[in-house]
Amino acid sequence: MVGLSADDPHDRAEMEKAARTVGYPAAMLREAKANGFGAPRTLPITYVVDTNGIVRARLGKGEPVTEKSLAETVLPLLPSEPVMHPRP
Do 12 and 22 belong to one domain? Answer: yes
Specify whether 27 is located in the same domain as 45: no
- pLDDT one-digit tens code per residue, 23-75: 777 777 776 666 666 666 776 777 888 878 888 888 877 677 788 888 898 88
Residues 37, 16 within the same domain: no
Confidence of residue 1 (pLDDT cuts 50, 70, 90): low
Please indicate, yes or no, if residue 83 is contained in any of the structural domains: no
Q: Does residue 78 sit within a domain?
A: no
User: What's the pTM value of the predicted model, to 2 decimals?
Assistant: 0.57
pLDDT number for residue 31: 65
**pLDDT value of position 83:** 66
Q: 15 Cβ partners below 8 Å, 6+ apart?
A: 5, 7, 26, 28
The whole-number pLDDT of residue 51 equals 79
> Which residues span the domain enclosing 43?
33-67
Query: What pLDDT does 33 receive?
Result: 62
Burial (0-12, 13-18, 19+ Cβ within 10 Å), 70: middle
Q: Is 52 a member of any domain?
A: yes
Note whether residue 85 is domain-resident. no
* Total structural domains within the chain: 2
Same domain? 1 vs 27: yes
